[in-house]
A and B are shown apart, each in its own frame.
Chain A
Amino acid sequence: MPFKYFGKINFTPFTKVDAFADYLHKGKLMGTQCKKCGEKYFPPKADCIKCMNDDIKWIEFSGRGTLHSYAKIIAAPKGFSDIAPYTIGVVDLEEGGRLLSWIEDIPDDEIKIDMPVKVVPRIFEEIEEIKLYYTIEKA
Protein backbone atom coordinates (compact mmCIF):
# COMPACT_ATOMS: atom_id res chain seq x y z
CA MET A 1 0.00 0.00 0.00
CA PRO A 2 1.97 3.04 -1.21
CA PHE A 3 2.01 6.10 1.06
CA LYS A 4 0.25 8.16 -1.62
CA TYR A 5 -3.02 6.54 -0.47
CA PHE A 6 -2.75 8.22 2.95
CA GLY A 7 -4.91 11.34 3.23
CA LYS A 8 -7.73 12.93 1.21
CA ILE A 9 -5.00 14.76 -0.70
CA ASN A 10 -1.49 13.42 -0.26
CA PHE A 11 1.39 15.88 -0.63
CA THR A 12 4.27 13.46 0.14
CA PRO A 13 3.96 10.19 -1.80
CA PHE A 14 7.54 9.16 -1.06
CA THR A 15 8.83 8.68 2.47
CA LYS A 16 11.04 6.32 4.47
CA VAL A 17 8.05 5.52 6.69
CA ASP A 18 5.72 4.40 3.89
CA ALA A 19 4.97 1.13 5.76
CA PHE A 20 2.67 3.32 7.88
CA ALA A 21 0.02 3.22 5.14
CA ASP A 22 0.22 -0.58 4.94
CA TYR A 23 -0.34 -0.93 8.65
CA LEU A 24 -3.17 1.61 8.61
CA HIS A 25 -4.87 -0.33 5.82
CA LYS A 26 -4.78 -3.37 8.15
CA GLY A 27 -6.38 -1.28 10.89
CA LYS A 28 -3.22 -0.64 12.87
CA LEU A 29 -2.03 2.75 14.07
CA MET A 30 1.74 2.49 14.11
CA GLY A 31 4.47 4.80 15.31
CA THR A 32 8.20 4.28 15.49
CA GLN A 33 10.70 3.81 18.29
CA CYS A 34 14.42 4.50 18.26
CA LYS A 35 16.30 1.24 18.84
CA LYS A 36 19.10 3.09 20.58
CA CYS A 37 17.55 5.59 23.01
CA GLY A 38 13.99 4.25 23.08
CA GLU A 39 12.29 7.52 22.07
CA LYS A 40 8.80 6.89 20.66
CA TYR A 41 7.47 8.82 17.66
CA PHE A 42 4.03 9.67 16.47
CA PRO A 43 3.88 10.79 13.73
CA PRO A 44 6.44 8.08 12.88
CA LYS A 45 9.96 9.16 12.03
CA ALA A 46 12.70 7.23 10.24
CA ASP A 47 15.43 9.07 12.12
CA CYS A 48 15.70 9.88 15.81
CA ILE A 49 15.78 13.66 16.53
CA LYS A 50 17.09 13.00 20.02
CA CYS A 51 20.18 10.83 19.40
CA MET A 52 20.48 10.98 15.57
CA ASN A 53 20.22 7.21 15.30
CA ASP A 54 18.68 6.00 12.03
CA ASP A 55 17.80 2.49 13.20
CA ILE A 56 14.15 2.42 14.25
CA LYS A 57 11.40 -0.18 14.75
CA TRP A 58 7.62 -0.03 14.30
CA ILE A 59 5.44 -0.13 17.41
CA GLU A 60 1.66 -0.19 17.67
CA PHE A 61 -0.14 2.73 19.30
CA SER A 62 -3.39 2.10 21.16
CA GLY A 63 -5.08 5.17 19.69
CA ARG A 64 -6.12 6.24 23.19
CA GLY A 65 -5.42 9.81 24.22
CA THR A 66 -6.84 13.14 25.28
CA LEU A 67 -7.91 16.12 23.18
CA HIS A 68 -5.26 18.84 23.39
CA SER A 69 -7.06 21.41 21.24
CA TYR A 70 -9.41 21.73 18.27
CA ALA A 71 -10.54 24.12 15.56
CA LYS A 72 -13.63 24.16 13.40
CA ILE A 73 -12.56 24.94 9.86
CA ILE A 74 -15.26 26.95 8.11
CA ALA A 75 -13.21 28.58 5.32
CA ALA A 76 -11.64 25.50 3.75
CA PRO A 77 -8.56 25.33 1.51
CA LYS A 78 -8.56 24.09 -2.06
CA GLY A 79 -9.47 20.41 -2.17
CA PHE A 80 -11.46 20.38 1.07
CA SER A 81 -14.46 22.67 0.47
CA ASP A 82 -16.63 19.65 -0.37
CA ILE A 83 -16.39 18.42 3.24
CA ALA A 84 -16.46 21.85 5.01
CA PRO A 85 -17.19 22.74 7.72
CA TYR A 86 -15.11 20.16 9.58
CA THR A 87 -13.42 20.12 12.96
CA ILE A 88 -9.77 19.22 13.37
CA GLY A 89 -8.38 18.09 16.70
CA VAL A 90 -4.94 17.56 18.20
CA VAL A 91 -4.64 14.48 20.42
CA ASP A 92 -2.01 13.80 23.07
CA LEU A 93 -1.50 10.06 22.58
CA GLU A 94 -1.21 7.75 25.58
CA GLU A 95 2.12 6.33 24.40
CA GLY A 96 3.56 9.79 23.69
CA GLY A 97 3.51 11.97 20.60
CA ARG A 98 0.54 13.78 19.10
CA LEU A 99 -1.81 13.36 16.20
CA LEU A 100 -3.95 15.72 14.15
CA SER A 101 -7.13 14.62 12.45
CA TRP A 102 -10.85 15.21 12.00
CA ILE A 103 -13.12 14.90 15.01
CA GLU A 104 -16.01 12.68 13.98
CA ASP A 105 -19.30 11.91 15.64
CA ILE A 106 -18.84 14.32 18.53
CA PRO A 107 -21.32 17.23 18.44
CA ASP A 108 -19.74 20.69 18.66
CA ASP A 109 -21.09 21.44 22.12
CA GLU A 110 -19.72 18.18 23.48
CA ILE A 111 -16.15 18.80 22.33
CA LYS A 112 -14.10 19.59 25.43
CA ILE A 113 -10.36 20.08 25.68
CA ASP A 114 -8.67 17.34 27.74
CA MET A 115 -11.57 14.90 27.13
CA PRO A 116 -10.54 11.27 26.54
CA VAL A 117 -10.73 10.26 22.87
CA LYS A 118 -9.75 7.35 20.64
CA VAL A 119 -8.21 7.36 17.19
CA VAL A 120 -9.78 5.01 14.64
CA PRO A 121 -8.18 3.94 11.30
CA ARG A 122 -10.55 4.52 8.38
CA ILE A 123 -10.98 4.19 4.61
CA PHE A 124 -12.89 6.80 2.59
CA GLU A 125 -15.86 4.96 1.18
CA GLU A 126 -17.18 7.77 -0.98
CA ILE A 127 -13.92 8.14 -2.91
CA GLU A 128 -13.32 5.56 -5.66
CA GLU A 129 -9.57 5.30 -5.23
CA ILE A 130 -8.40 3.84 -1.91
CA LYS A 131 -7.82 6.67 0.58
CA LEU A 132 -6.72 5.92 4.11
CA TYR A 133 -7.06 8.20 7.12
CA TYR A 134 -7.97 8.12 10.78
CA THR A 135 -10.52 9.95 12.89
CA ILE A 136 -10.82 11.20 16.44
CA GLU A 137 -13.85 9.77 18.22
CA LYS A 138 -15.44 9.57 21.64
CA ALA A 139 -13.50 7.16 23.90
Chain B
Amino acid sequence: MKIGIVGIGHGKFGNRSDATVQELAFEPFKQAIEDTENLGREDIDALVVGSVPEYHMQRSLPGVVAEYIGMNPQSVWLTEAACASGSAAIRTAYMAIKSGMHDVVAVIGIQKMRELSTEEILALMGRVGDVQWESIFGTTFPGYYALYANRHMHQFGTTKEQMALVAVKNHHYGTLNPNAFFQKEVTMEKVLGSAGVAYPLKVFDCCANADGAACVIMTNEKKAKKYTDTPIWFEGLGSASAQMSVLRRPNLVEIPSAVEAAKQAYAQANVKPSDIQVAEVHDCFTIAEIMAYENLDFCPKGKGGKFIEEKQSYIGGKTPVNVDGGLKAKGHPVGATGVSMTTEIVKQLRGDAGKRQVTSAEIGLTHNVGGIGQYTFVHILRR
Protein backbone atom coordinates (compact mmCIF):
# COMPACT_ATOMS: atom_id res chain seq x y z
CA MET B 1 0.00 0.00 0.00
CA LYS B 2 1.30 3.45 -0.96
CA ILE B 3 1.94 6.12 1.68
CA GLY B 4 1.49 9.77 0.85
CA ILE B 5 1.25 13.33 2.08
CA VAL B 6 -2.19 14.93 2.31
CA GLY B 7 -1.45 18.17 4.15
CA ILE B 8 1.44 20.60 4.60
CA GLY B 9 2.25 23.66 6.68
CA HIS B 10 5.28 25.94 6.93
CA GLY B 11 5.97 28.65 9.49
CA LYS B 12 8.14 31.72 9.01
CA PHE B 13 11.84 30.85 9.43
CA GLY B 14 14.28 33.29 10.94
CA ASN B 15 14.86 35.07 14.20
CA ARG B 16 11.71 34.05 16.05
CA SER B 17 12.37 35.57 19.43
CA ASP B 18 8.62 36.32 19.44
CA ALA B 19 7.67 32.69 20.19
CA THR B 20 8.44 29.63 22.30
CA VAL B 21 9.22 26.36 20.61
CA GLN B 22 5.70 24.97 21.08
CA GLU B 23 4.17 28.22 19.79
CA LEU B 24 6.31 27.80 16.67
CA ALA B 25 5.02 24.23 16.28
CA PHE B 26 1.41 25.38 16.35
CA GLU B 27 1.72 27.53 13.19
CA PRO B 28 2.47 24.87 10.54
CA PHE B 29 0.32 22.28 12.34
CA LYS B 30 -2.76 24.51 12.07
CA GLN B 31 -1.93 25.25 8.41
CA ALA B 32 -1.50 21.55 7.63
CA ILE B 33 -4.91 20.69 9.04
CA GLU B 34 -6.50 23.57 7.12
CA ASP B 35 -4.68 22.33 4.00
CA THR B 36 -6.63 19.05 4.07
CA GLU B 37 -10.33 18.51 3.49
CA ASN B 38 -12.38 16.60 6.04
CA LEU B 39 -9.42 16.09 8.39
CA GLY B 40 -9.89 16.99 12.00
CA ARG B 41 -7.22 16.92 14.68
CA GLU B 42 -8.97 13.87 16.18
CA ASP B 43 -8.29 11.88 12.98
CA ILE B 44 -4.55 12.08 13.58
CA ASP B 45 -3.54 9.09 15.64
CA ALA B 46 0.16 9.81 16.15
CA LEU B 47 2.61 12.72 16.14
CA VAL B 48 6.31 12.43 15.35
CA VAL B 49 8.55 15.36 16.26
CA GLY B 50 11.88 15.81 14.48
CA SER B 51 14.25 17.97 16.49
CA VAL B 52 17.68 18.16 18.12
CA PRO B 53 17.07 18.43 21.87
CA GLU B 54 20.35 20.11 22.87
CA TYR B 55 19.31 23.55 21.60
CA HIS B 56 16.31 24.03 23.85
CA MET B 57 15.91 24.99 27.47
CA GLN B 58 12.68 22.96 27.46
CA ARG B 59 13.40 19.27 28.00
CA SER B 60 11.54 16.48 26.21
CA LEU B 61 10.07 18.48 23.37
CA PRO B 62 7.40 16.03 22.09
CA GLY B 63 5.61 16.36 25.42
CA VAL B 64 5.29 20.13 25.39
CA VAL B 65 4.43 20.24 21.67
CA ALA B 66 1.73 17.55 21.93
CA GLU B 67 0.08 19.37 24.80
CA TYR B 68 0.23 22.83 23.19
CA ILE B 69 -1.23 21.71 19.85
CA GLY B 70 -3.89 19.63 21.59
CA MET B 71 -2.80 16.14 20.60
CA ASN B 72 -3.12 14.41 24.01
CA PRO B 73 -3.69 11.53 24.56
CA GLN B 74 -2.41 10.38 21.14
CA SER B 75 0.93 8.69 20.72
CA VAL B 76 3.93 11.02 20.32
CA TRP B 77 7.68 10.53 20.04
CA LEU B 78 10.92 12.26 19.00
CA THR B 79 13.41 11.34 16.31
CA GLU B 80 16.92 12.71 16.24
CA ALA B 81 19.49 12.48 13.46
CA ALA B 82 21.17 15.89 13.86
CA CYS B 83 20.31 18.17 10.90
CA ALA B 84 18.40 15.28 9.27
CA SER B 85 16.01 14.87 12.22
CA GLY B 86 13.05 16.09 10.14
CA SER B 87 13.53 13.46 7.43
CA ALA B 88 14.19 10.82 10.08
CA ALA B 89 10.80 11.72 11.57
CA ILE B 90 9.16 11.30 8.16
CA ARG B 91 10.82 7.90 7.77
CA THR B 92 9.47 6.70 11.13
CA ALA B 93 6.00 8.03 10.26
CA TYR B 94 6.19 6.08 6.99
CA MET B 95 7.10 2.93 8.92
CA ALA B 96 4.32 3.46 11.43
CA ILE B 97 1.70 3.76 8.69
CA LYS B 98 3.15 1.02 6.51
CA SER B 99 3.07 -1.40 9.43
CA GLY B 100 -0.61 -0.67 10.03
CA MET B 101 0.04 0.51 13.56
CA HIS B 102 -1.11 4.06 12.75
CA ASP B 103 -3.34 5.43 9.97
CA VAL B 104 -2.82 9.19 9.98
CA VAL B 105 0.43 10.62 11.33
CA ALA B 106 1.46 14.27 11.68
CA VAL B 107 5.18 15.05 11.48
CA ILE B 108 6.44 18.32 12.92
CA GLY B 109 10.04 19.36 12.34
CA ILE B 110 11.03 22.11 14.72
CA GLN B 111 13.98 23.98 16.13
CA LYS B 112 14.62 27.10 18.12
CA MET B 113 18.35 27.73 17.83
CA ARG B 114 18.64 31.35 18.69
CA GLU B 115 18.25 30.84 22.43
CA LEU B 116 22.02 30.20 22.28
CA SER B 117 24.85 32.58 21.34
CA THR B 118 26.80 32.02 18.10
CA GLU B 119 29.86 31.06 20.15
CA GLU B 120 27.82 28.46 22.05
CA ILE B 121 26.32 27.11 18.81
CA LEU B 122 29.78 26.88 17.23
CA ALA B 123 30.92 24.81 20.22
CA LEU B 124 27.79 22.65 20.25
CA MET B 125 27.84 22.00 16.52
CA GLY B 126 31.61 21.44 16.51
CA ARG B 127 30.98 18.52 18.86
CA VAL B 128 29.14 16.68 16.07
CA GLY B 129 32.58 15.40 15.12
CA ASP B 130 34.44 12.99 17.41
CA VAL B 131 34.81 14.86 20.71
CA GLN B 132 37.62 12.62 21.97
CA TRP B 133 40.09 13.21 19.13
CA GLU B 134 38.81 16.20 17.12
CA SER B 135 36.79 18.74 19.17
CA ILE B 136 39.74 19.19 21.56
CA PHE B 137 41.40 21.15 18.74
CA GLY B 138 38.49 23.58 18.42
CA THR B 139 36.78 22.11 15.37
CA THR B 140 33.62 23.83 14.19
CA PHE B 141 30.84 22.84 11.83
CA PRO B 142 31.99 25.25 9.11
CA GLY B 143 35.51 23.97 9.83
CA TYR B 144 34.54 20.43 8.89
CA TYR B 145 32.95 21.59 5.65
CA ALA B 146 36.05 23.69 4.97
CA LEU B 147 38.05 20.43 5.15
CA TYR B 148 35.74 19.01 2.46
CA ALA B 149 35.98 22.23 0.41
CA ASN B 150 39.78 22.41 0.41
CA ARG B 151 40.11 18.75 -0.54
CA HIS B 152 37.42 19.06 -3.23
CA MET B 153 39.18 22.14 -4.67
CA HIS B 154 42.51 20.30 -4.61
CA GLN B 155 41.23 17.10 -6.19
CA PHE B 156 38.76 18.44 -8.77
CA GLY B 157 39.72 22.06 -9.30
CA THR B 158 36.48 23.36 -7.78
CA THR B 159 36.77 27.12 -7.20
CA LYS B 160 35.59 29.64 -4.60
CA GLU B 161 33.73 31.38 -7.42
CA GLN B 162 31.76 28.22 -8.20
CA MET B 163 30.87 27.88 -4.51
CA ALA B 164 29.79 31.53 -4.46
CA LEU B 165 27.45 30.86 -7.40
CA VAL B 166 25.48 28.42 -5.22
CA ALA B 167 24.84 31.24 -2.74
CA VAL B 168 23.88 33.61 -5.58
CA LYS B 169 21.33 31.08 -6.92
CA ASN B 170 19.81 30.17 -3.57
CA HIS B 171 19.49 33.77 -2.42
CA HIS B 172 17.88 34.57 -5.77
CA TYR B 173 15.19 31.94 -5.19
CA GLY B 174 14.89 33.00 -1.56
CA THR B 175 13.45 36.30 -2.81
CA LEU B 176 10.45 34.30 -4.06
CA ASN B 177 9.81 32.61 -0.71
CA PRO B 178 8.06 34.68 1.97
CA ASN B 179 8.88 32.05 4.62
CA ALA B 180 12.63 32.42 4.02
CA PHE B 181 14.83 34.15 6.60
CA PHE B 182 16.53 36.22 3.84
CA GLN B 183 14.74 37.61 0.79
CA LYS B 184 17.52 39.57 -0.84
CA GLU B 185 19.64 38.90 -3.92
CA VAL B 186 23.39 38.66 -3.35
CA THR B 187 26.13 39.15 -5.94
CA MET B 188 29.20 37.02 -6.44
CA GLU B 189 31.33 39.99 -5.30
CA LYS B 190 29.34 40.25 -2.09
CA VAL B 191 29.77 36.52 -1.34
CA LEU B 192 33.51 36.55 -2.10
CA GLY B 193 34.00 39.75 -0.15
CA SER B 194 32.18 38.59 2.99
CA ALA B 195 34.06 37.89 6.24
CA GLY B 196 35.92 34.61 6.66
CA VAL B 197 34.39 31.92 8.90
CA ALA B 198 36.56 28.87 8.22
CA TYR B 199 38.85 29.26 5.21
CA PRO B 200 37.92 28.84 2.39
CA LEU B 201 34.31 29.35 3.60
CA LYS B 202 32.98 32.85 4.17
CA VAL B 203 29.83 34.12 5.83
CA PHE B 204 27.86 33.84 2.59
CA ASP B 205 29.04 30.25 2.03
CA CYS B 206 27.27 29.27 5.28
CA CYS B 207 23.60 28.89 6.08
CA ALA B 208 22.26 30.78 9.06
CA ASN B 209 21.15 29.36 12.39
CA ALA B 210 17.43 29.97 12.56
CA ASP B 211 14.19 29.24 14.39
CA GLY B 212 11.27 27.63 12.62
CA ALA B 213 8.86 24.76 12.15
CA ALA B 214 7.21 22.83 9.32
CA CYS B 215 4.59 20.08 9.24
CA VAL B 216 3.34 17.31 6.95
CA ILE B 217 0.38 14.99 7.44
CA MET B 218 0.84 11.48 6.09
CA THR B 219 -1.56 8.61 5.55
CA ASN B 220 -2.10 5.45 3.52
CA GLU B 221 -3.57 5.04 0.04
CA LYS B 222 -6.93 3.91 1.39
CA LYS B 223 -7.54 7.06 3.46
CA ALA B 224 -5.69 9.66 1.37
CA LYS B 225 -8.50 10.38 -1.12
CA LYS B 226 -10.81 11.32 1.71
CA TYR B 227 -8.52 14.23 2.63
CA THR B 228 -7.22 15.54 -0.69
CA ASP B 229 -7.56 15.26 -4.46
CA THR B 230 -3.82 15.59 -4.90
CA PRO B 231 -1.95 13.26 -2.56
CA ILE B 232 1.81 13.21 -3.12
CA TRP B 233 3.26 9.71 -2.83
CA PHE B 234 6.50 8.43 -1.36
CA GLU B 235 8.09 6.31 -4.08
CA GLY B 236 11.55 5.73 -2.65
CA LEU B 237 13.06 6.17 0.81
CA GLY B 238 16.82 5.79 1.19
CA SER B 239 18.63 6.06 4.51
CA ALA B 240 22.28 5.43 5.33
CA SER B 241 24.99 6.29 7.83
CA ALA B 242 28.70 7.14 7.67
CA GLN B 243 31.56 7.30 10.15
CA MET B 244 31.16 9.88 12.94
CA SER B 245 34.82 10.84 12.57
CA VAL B 246 36.28 12.38 9.42
CA LEU B 247 39.41 10.48 10.41
CA ARG B 248 37.71 7.21 9.46
CA ARG B 249 35.95 8.29 6.27
CA PRO B 250 37.10 6.73 2.98
CA ASN B 251 37.63 10.25 1.53
CA LEU B 252 36.73 13.89 2.18
CA VAL B 253 35.25 14.77 -1.20
CA GLU B 254 31.86 13.16 -0.83
CA ILE B 255 29.22 12.29 1.78
CA PRO B 256 29.23 8.47 1.62
CA SER B 257 25.88 8.17 3.43
CA ALA B 258 24.32 10.35 0.72
CA VAL B 259 25.71 8.21 -2.07
CA GLU B 260 24.29 5.08 -0.43
CA ALA B 261 20.90 6.61 0.50
CA ALA B 262 20.46 7.96 -3.05
CA LYS B 263 21.20 4.54 -4.52
CA GLN B 264 18.51 2.98 -2.30
CA ALA B 265 15.91 5.64 -3.11
CA TYR B 266 16.46 5.49 -6.88
CA ALA B 267 16.22 1.68 -6.81
CA GLN B 268 13.02 1.63 -4.75
CA ALA B 269 11.36 4.35 -6.83
CA ASN B 270 12.67 2.76 -10.02
CA VAL B 271 13.76 6.12 -11.43
CA LYS B 272 17.04 7.52 -12.72
CA PRO B 273 18.71 10.70 -11.45
CA SER B 274 17.80 12.34 -14.77
CA ASP B 275 14.10 11.67 -14.02
CA ILE B 276 14.18 14.04 -11.04
CA GLN B 277 12.51 17.29 -12.10
CA VAL B 278 12.96 19.25 -8.89
CA ALA B 279 15.22 18.64 -5.89
CA GLU B 280 15.70 20.00 -2.41
CA VAL B 281 19.26 19.34 -1.23
CA HIS B 282 21.10 19.99 2.02
CA ASP B 283 23.08 23.17 1.27
CA CYS B 284 24.25 23.88 4.81
CA PHE B 285 27.34 25.25 3.04
CA THR B 286 27.85 26.07 -0.64
CA ILE B 287 30.34 23.18 -0.99
CA ALA B 288 27.64 20.86 0.44
CA GLU B 289 25.32 21.65 -2.47
CA ILE B 290 28.14 21.03 -4.96
CA MET B 291 28.84 17.64 -3.35
CA ALA B 292 25.08 16.90 -3.33
CA TYR B 293 24.86 17.31 -7.14
CA GLU B 294 27.59 14.68 -7.41
CA ASN B 295 26.40 12.34 -4.66
CA LEU B 296 22.87 12.29 -6.14
CA ASP B 297 24.33 11.63 -9.59
CA PHE B 298 22.88 14.80 -11.11
CA CYS B 299 26.39 15.16 -12.55
CA PRO B 300 29.58 13.07 -12.55
CA LYS B 301 31.90 13.10 -9.52
CA GLY B 302 34.07 16.21 -9.46
CA LYS B 303 31.83 18.12 -11.88
CA GLY B 304 29.56 19.78 -9.29
CA GLY B 305 31.30 23.13 -9.69
CA LYS B 306 30.71 23.05 -13.41
CA PHE B 307 27.06 22.06 -12.86
CA ILE B 308 26.31 25.33 -11.05
CA GLU B 309 28.53 27.33 -13.42
CA GLU B 310 26.39 26.11 -16.31
CA LYS B 311 23.26 26.99 -14.34
CA GLN B 312 22.06 23.38 -14.56
CA SER B 313 20.52 23.68 -11.07
CA TYR B 314 18.41 26.71 -12.02
CA ILE B 315 14.81 26.41 -13.21
CA GLY B 316 15.22 25.61 -16.89
CA GLY B 317 18.47 23.67 -16.26
CA LYS B 318 18.94 19.92 -16.05
CA THR B 319 17.79 19.58 -12.41
CA PRO B 320 16.40 22.64 -10.59
CA VAL B 321 17.76 22.57 -7.02
CA ASN B 322 16.60 24.49 -3.95
CA VAL B 323 14.21 26.77 -5.78
CA ASP B 324 12.70 27.76 -2.41
CA GLY B 325 16.03 29.30 -1.40
CA GLY B 326 17.51 26.23 0.27
CA LEU B 327 19.02 26.30 3.73
CA LYS B 328 21.10 29.26 2.52
CA ALA B 329 18.20 31.68 2.17
CA LYS B 330 15.55 30.01 4.33
CA GLY B 331 17.85 29.56 7.32
CA HIS B 332 18.48 26.17 8.88
CA PRO B 333 16.42 25.38 11.99
CA VAL B 334 18.02 21.93 12.09
CA GLY B 335 15.04 19.76 13.10
CA ALA B 336 12.65 21.62 10.78
CA THR B 337 14.76 21.51 7.62
CA GLY B 338 13.90 18.01 6.32
CA VAL B 339 10.17 18.66 6.76
CA SER B 340 10.52 22.09 5.14
CA MET B 341 12.20 20.49 2.10
CA THR B 342 9.33 18.00 1.88
CA THR B 343 6.65 20.71 1.95
CA GLU B 344 8.39 22.45 -0.97
CA ILE B 345 8.46 19.27 -3.07
CA VAL B 346 4.76 18.70 -2.28
CA LYS B 347 3.97 22.27 -3.43
CA GLN B 348 5.98 21.77 -6.62
CA LEU B 349 4.33 18.45 -7.45
CA ARG B 350 0.87 19.85 -6.75
CA GLY B 351 1.67 22.78 -9.05
CA ASP B 352 1.17 25.21 -6.16
CA ALA B 353 4.65 26.77 -6.01
CA GLY B 354 3.67 30.08 -7.63
CA LYS B 355 6.51 32.17 -9.03
CA ARG B 356 9.09 29.48 -8.33
CA GLN B 357 7.08 26.64 -9.91
CA VAL B 358 9.02 24.14 -12.02
CA THR B 359 6.73 23.55 -15.00
CA SER B 360 4.69 20.33 -14.76
CA ALA B 361 7.01 18.71 -12.20
CA GLU B 362 5.91 15.15 -11.47
CA ILE B 363 8.88 13.61 -9.65
CA GLY B 364 10.78 15.37 -6.87
CA LEU B 365 13.55 14.52 -4.42
CA THR B 366 14.68 15.57 -0.94
CA HIS B 367 18.25 15.06 0.30
CA ASN B 368 18.71 15.77 4.01
CA VAL B 369 22.14 15.32 5.60
CA GLY B 370 22.67 15.00 9.35
CA GLY B 371 25.78 16.31 11.08
CA ILE B 372 28.87 16.29 8.90
CA GLY B 373 27.44 13.41 6.88
CA GLN B 374 26.82 10.80 9.58
CA TYR B 375 23.23 10.39 8.40
CA THR B 376 21.52 10.99 5.07
CA PHE B 377 17.90 10.51 4.08
CA VAL B 378 16.89 10.70 0.41
CA HIS B 379 13.18 10.65 -0.40
CA ILE B 380 11.65 10.51 -3.86
CA LEU B 381 8.08 11.79 -4.18
CA ARG B 382 5.63 11.60 -7.05
CA ARG B 383 2.35 13.20 -8.01
Q: What residues of chain A have their CB less than 8 Å away from a CB belonging to chain B?
A: 6-12, 15, 42-43, 68-81, 83-84, 86-88, 90, 97-102, 113-114, 133
Question: Which residue on A lies nearest to B197, using beta carbons?
Answer: A75
* CB-defined contacts of A75 to chain B, threshold 8 Å: 118, 122, 140, 142, 197-198
Q: Taking the nearest CB of chain B, how far is it from the CB of A8, in angstroms?
A: 6
* Assembly CA distance A78 to B124 (angstroms): 9
How many inter-chain contacts with C-beta < 8 Å in the A-B complex? Answer: 114
**Which of B187-232 touch A at CB < 8 Å?**
195-199
* CB-defined contacts of A70 to chain B, threshold 8 Å: 147, 150
Question: Which residue on B lies nearest to A80, using beta carbons?
Answer: B138
* In-complex Cβ contact of B137 among A7, A42, A72, A113 (8 A): A7
* Assembly CA distance A37 to B200 (angstroms): 40
**Which of B122-161 touch A at CB < 8 Å?**
122-123, 126-127, 130-140, 142-144, 146-151, 154
B199-A88 in contact (CB<8A): no
20 CB-based A-B contacts, threshold 8 Å: A7-B136, A7-B137, A11-B131, A15-B132, A43-B133, A69-B147, A70-B147, A71-B150, A72-B146, A72-B196, A72-B199, A73-B140, A75-B197, A77-B123, A77-B138, A79-B138, A90-B252, A97-B247, A100-B134, A113-B150
* CB-defined contacts of B247 to chain A, threshold 8 Å: 42-43, 90, 97-100
B18 interfacial contact with A, CB 8 Å:
no
B275 interfacial contact with A, CB 8 Å:
no
* In-complex Cβ contact of A71 among B127, B136, B199 (8 A): B199
B198-A72 in contact (CB<8A): yes
Q: What residues of chain B have their CB less than 8 Å away from a CB belonging to chain A?
A: 118-120, 122-123, 126-127, 130-140, 142-144, 146-151, 154, 195-199, 245-248, 252
A76-B150 in contact (CB<8A): no
* Assembly CA distance A114 to B118 (angstroms): 33
A71-B252 in contact (CB<8A): no
A77-B119 in contact (CB<8A): yes
B246-A90 in contact (CB<8A): yes
* CB-defined contacts of A81 to chain B, threshold 8 Å: 119
* CB-defined contacts of B120 to chain A, threshold 8 Å: 78
B197-A69 in contact (CB<8A): no
Question: Which residue on B lies nearest to A100, using beta carbons?
Answer: B134
A98-B248 in contact (CB<8A): yes
Question: Which residue on A lies nearest to B117, using beta carbons?
Answer: A78
* Assembly CA distance A104 to B126 (angstroms): 21
B140-A76 in contact (CB<8A): yes
* CB-defined contacts of B248 to chain A, threshold 8 Å: 98
* Assembly CA distance A11 to B143 (angstroms): 19
A11-B146 in contact (CB<8A): no
* CB-defined contacts of A98 to chain B, threshold 8 Å: 246-248
* Assembly CA distance A92 to B132 (angstroms): 18
Q: Taking the nearest CB of chain B, how far is it from the CB of A75, in angstroms?
A: 5
A11-B140 in contact (CB<8A): no
Question: Which residue on A lies nearest to B142, using beta carbons?
Answer: A75
* CB-defined contacts of A97 to chain B, threshold 8 Å: 247
